Amino acid sequence: MRDGGAVRDGGVRDGGAVRDGAIRDGAIGRDVGPGHFAGEGALSRSQLDNLRGLGDRGLADRGIGDRGIRPYSINTLENRGSTIRNNFYHGGWYGGRGWYGNHFGPWWPGAWGGGFGLGVGVGMLAGWGGMGWGTGIGYAPLCSWGGYSQAPVVYNYGSTICYQDDGVYVSGERVASAPEYAQQAATLANQGNADVKIAADDQWRPLGVFALARQEETTPSTFLSLAIDEAGILRGTYYDAVSDTQQNITGKVDKKTQRAAWTIGDKKTPIYETGLSNLTQQQTTVLVHRDAGASGGTGKVEQMLLVRVPDEGKEPTGKDGAAAATKPPRPTIGGPAPAPAEETLSVPRADGGDGN
């Protein structure tokens, strides 16, 4: 059986189910016409439908794929997210009061939008802290505010989007070579680079704070925050807990395909990509392009996980907008959390469209 019947990676795949108010794998969508990836490579109407959960699932149903890109069932993703969050809060890199304010303060112009009761002139750091660090926003508010289709395009790497030989396939149809697909992501990310002018009164929505984990990692030490403006520009901060250093994140979301791509610091690679609706979930997969397609790139890619790590204590902010700061303690570098959690189906409630 397919989409709702097959058991894979220890969990049941879902072809359009809604759980805890959140849109899941294979979200049901509507026909809104053809779209395109940034750069070369057109997506047909049927391909967009498949990304929204309609039609043939393509290569993934036949178990075909390479470059280490694997399909994740809903249960497997939930289990991985629950384990990583539990380890983060209990013996991992979370340092308690002040941790979010120390590492993820917005560095770009603008203010959090009126949807959060905040207007122009309100400090963004105070706004983010006041909403609860890492909480993020649901797809429905983003869709109406940013002008995106009401039908989310879910990027399920290894399922609806697969690598085979030298090609990238969407619902079984080849859309680009691996280097071409990487170059598309590079082109999109560059459209939101640090040189893009941002108005002082620009309005932003927070997408949240995430742990960035390799496939088998249970206590990741790298984290990132992301925010988006109405034009789809992405800004954020990347934090490496081992070196205790931060770098700026820049990128963009394509309005038609909802593909999001960003880079870290002043480097052109690696390029990170996922779907906009993926960034409203509790946990999701993300592709990391290790080289771009131009200038002899090979399309080398790695699949990683983004796991939302919201501030459970709702870290307070001071009158100047800065969180009450204390230097967070650090776990043993390179070692696991003292008591890693067993994977379980008991997971935090997913976002229901009113802010994760």
User: Does residue 10 carry a pLDDT above 80?
Assistant: no
pLDDT on residue 344: 29
Name the more confident of 56 and 215.
215
Stretch 194-221: mean pLDDT: 95
User: Does residue 324 carry a pLDDT above 60?
Assistant: no
- CA 291 to CA 58: how far, in whole Å? 27
pLDDT on residue 265: 97
User: Does residue 201 carry a pLDDT above 80?
Assistant: yes
Name the more confident of 273 and 125.
273
* Confidence tier at 134 by pLDDT (50, 70, 90): low
- Give the burial class of 353: count Cβ atoms within 10 A of its Cβ; 0-12 exposed, 13-18 middle, 19 or more buried: middle
- With respect to residue 315, please indicate whether it lies within any of the assigned structural domains: no
- With respect to residue 340, please indicate whether it lies within any of the assigned structural domains: no
pLDDT on residue 222: 98
- Give the burial class of 272: count Cβ atoms within 10 A of its Cβ; 0-12 exposed, 13-18 middle, 19 or more buried: buried
pLDDT on residue 97: 81
- With respect to residue 165, please indicate whether it lies within any of the assigned structural domains: yes
- Give the burial class of 117: count Cβ atoms within 10 A of its Cβ; 0-12 exposed, 13-18 middle, 19 or more buried: exposed
pLDDT on residue 28: 27
Q: Global pTM?
A: 0.72
Print the domain residue range for 134. Answer: 27-308
pLDDT on residue 49: 54
User: Does residue 189 carry a pLDDT above 70?
Assistant: yes
CA distances from 11 to 73, 306, 325 (A): 6, 19, 41
Q: HSE (CB half, 13 Å, CA atoms) of 67?
A: 24
Tally the domains of the chain. 1
- CA 102 to CA 168: how far, in whole Å? 40
Beta strands 233-240; 245-253: pairing state: antiparallel
- With respect to residue 304, please indicate whether it lies within any of the assigned structural domains: yes
- With respect to residue 322, please indicate whether it lies within any of the assigned structural domains: no
pLDDT on residue 47: 52
pLDDT on residue 334: 35
Per-residue burial over 298-337, b = 16 or more CB atoms within 10 Å of its CB, e = otherwise: ebebebbbbbbbbbeeebebeeebbbeeeebeebeeeeeb
* Confidence tier at 350 by pLDDT (50, 70, 90): very low
pLDDT on residue 236: 97
- CA 45 to CA 10: how far, in whole Å? 32
- With respect to residue 17, please indicate whether it lies within any of the assigned structural domains: no
pLDDT, tens digit (0-9, with 9 covering 90-100), for 25-80: 333 232 222 333 433 344 555 555 554 443 334 444 444 346 889 999 999 999 99
pLDDT on residue 46: 55
- With respect to residue 68, please indicate whether it lies within any of the assigned structural domains: yes
Return the top range by mean pLDDT from 4-8, 14-18, 132-136, 162-166. Answer: 162-166
pLDDT on residue 45: 52
Q: Are 251 and 260 in contact (CB under 8 A)?
A: yes
- With respect to residue 175, please indicate whether it lies within any of the assigned structural domains: yes
Across the chain, mean pLDDT equals 73
* Confidence tier at 296 by pLDDT (50, 70, 90): confident
| Residues paired with residue 260 on neighbouring β-strands, in sequence order | 253, 274
Nearest Cα neighbor of 116 from 205, 231, 209, 210 is 205
Q: 164-170 — which CB contacts under 8 Å span 24+ positions?
A: 164/59, 164/64, 164/65, 164/66, 165/66, 166/299, 169/58, 169/59, 170/43, 170/47, 170/50, 170/51, 170/58
Stretch 316-335: mean pLDDT: 37
- CA 136 to CA 62: how far, in whole Å? 35
